[in-house]
Amino acid sequence: MNTNSLDLHGRILIIMSNLGFGQKKAKLASKKHPHTKVHRRVNRLKFKKKEKVLGRKISRNVCFIGLLTVAVLAGTLIPVGSTPWVTNVKAASVTVDSALSKFKDVKGHWAQETIAKALKKNLISGYQDGTFRPNGKITRGEYAAILARATGLEKAQGQAQNVFSDLTGHWSESAVHQLVAQGFIDVNDYVNGFKPNTELTRYEMMKWIASGLVKSESSFGDAFNDTKNTLLPTPEVNRGTIRPEQIPYLALVRGTGVVGGFEDGTLKPADPTTRAEVAAILLRYMEVEGTDASKYSDLNELREVGTTGTNLTTISNYFYTKNSVKVSDISDEDIYLSNNSGVLNLHRFIVVKVQGGKPEGVYNKLFVEPNVPLGNYYLTFADMSFTSKTDKTDLITYSGGLDSGLLKFRRLELEFSKKNGFTTIPDNPKDLITKGKKVRFWTRSTLDFKNGSYHIKTEKLGELKIQNMYY
């Protein structure tokens, strides 16, 4: 036996030892091998873990990469089946080469690594001409087929059949029926037929996977209910292009990071989506499905806004003091300015944490213009209705009637607020505020980063009181 054979034999014994095979000799050899620690970190067995979720079972595959290591050392590649879900174990390294060799049109594309990962997990396939067409629009049927492979939810017993007459004989029929039975697709959304060859909209894409999250773990169902009245961190909410019933679905996928939105913060729910975008989003979805909703800080902010009118306690170190009311409690309650210059109603109170001059939190891109001052503080944005009781329309007068720094009559940065669809106080307040007319707009203020205490008093419901004195 030559030296190379001896070396190969020793390595195989080492790996067998790491996999739990062999006797003492193998273990002794293992201790001397310079790569023993690496091999010990290799996960050794392929198994299927089943978890109960909402009375259902989720099947998750964990990759077997131990034998792959043996094969590589032996100079032979043993094919290992790709899995639609990897948990606790990192998949074998993914290279772009596999996608480049499979698809001739992905080189240099922003999603080429994503496409490679999706290919490895058997989520996607290309066309007979050797292309993937990453910028091509995706149809309902195509998305259904990919999502059916991506989900870890166990297939429902008595899978839905013949729910759409126009699906009979279509290649996506089985996948669509599976998703209907699992709760991804609501048949009431397609009363005129599923139309599998119709281009998928981004809202459909997001609604299906949001519904999947709700089915995968009960905490997502709670989050869905909590965000029905939230403020989505996208300028489209101010433009009237997102319907109220769409909000919780969009909140789930945005709050978990499954869908991050475009550079300008928009979600563009009515637009079609591409094959590359779907590959990227479903890879993220696979990581989120079946987890606990409370682990996602952005979603927690959206939930607090949906239930209390503010994200204050999620994003900041402030807390409500004893017997304090919440913003949502006083949203319809009149707050009288002490100098009798007007009366306001506070609807929402959004907080952005700024630390070292860097804005943080789910709302920072929606509210905060670039290049904010350095330092540590909290920027606050108040959505209020206001009725002036004076002809002066003087912002100094109005601010003087507020007994707390919690609210200020300060306008948002005008160009930035206009771009994002906010109504704020214009350069000439008289263009918006006139005596006796109730108007709604956003204002801004700040809270101290530590040792702060603020309150605002209503006539009937008591006070909203917050502090971080014990920072």
Tokens of 328: 């949502």
Q: Which residues pair with 424 in a beta bridge?
A: 442
3-state secondary structure of 224: helix
3-state secondary structure of 445: strand
Task: Write down the pLDDT at residue 99.
Answer: 66
Mean pLDDT of successive 10-residue segments in the chain (471 residues)?
A: 42 39 38 35 36 43 32 26 26 58 84 86 85 91 95 80 89 94 96 96 97 98 98 92 96 96 87 92 96 98 97 96 90 91 95 95 93 92 96 88 90 92 94 95 95 89 86 49
Q: Which residues pair with 62 in a beta bridge?
A: 47
Q: Please, is 55 exposed, middle or buried when counting C-beta atoms within 10 Å of its C-beta (0-12, 13-18, 19+)?
A: exposed
d(Cα 425, Cα 406) in Å, to the nearest integer?
18
Task: Write down the pLDDT at residue 293.
Answer: 98
Q: Does residue 456 contact residue 333 with C-beta atoms inside 8 Å?
A: no
Kindly list the distances between the CA atom of residue 375 and the CA atoms of 333, 351, 352, 357, 446, in Å, as whole numbers in the listed order.
Answer: 35, 16, 13, 5, 12
Cβ within 8 Å of residue 431, ≥6 positions away: none
Instruction: Using DSSP bridges, classify how beta strands 47-53 and 56-62 pair: parallel, antiparallel or unpaired.
Output: antiparallel
Task: Write down the pLDDT at residue 162.
Answer: 78
Kindly list the distances between the CA atom of residue 387 and the CA atoms of 9, 100, 171, 382, 391, in Å, as whole numbers in the listed order.
Answer: 85, 63, 61, 15, 11
Return the H-helix or E-strand segment holding 422.
none
Q: What is the pTM of this model?
A: 0.77
Q: Does residue 38 contact residue 18 with C-beta atoms inside 8 Å?
A: no
Q: Considering just the CA atoms, what is the radius of gyration of the chain in Å? A: 28
Tell me the residue type at 3.
T
Helices in 19-134 by DSSP H: which ranges?
A: 24-32, 36-40, 66-73, 96-102, 112-120
Q: Which residues pair with 139 in a beta bridge?
A: 199
Task: Write down the pLDDT at residue 346.
Answer: 94
Task: Write down the pLDDT at residue 286.
Answer: 95
Instruction: Using DSSP bridges, classify how beta strands 453-457 and 438-447 pair: parallel, antiparallel or unpaired.
Output: unpaired
Task: Write down the pLDDT at residue 41.
Answer: 33
Helices in 74-172 by DSSP H: which ranges?
A: 96-102, 112-120, 140-150
Tokens of 392: 């002066």
- Residue 270: how many CA atoms within 13 Å on its side-chain side? 5
Q: Does residue 360 contact residue 317 with C-beta atoms inside 8 Å?
A: no
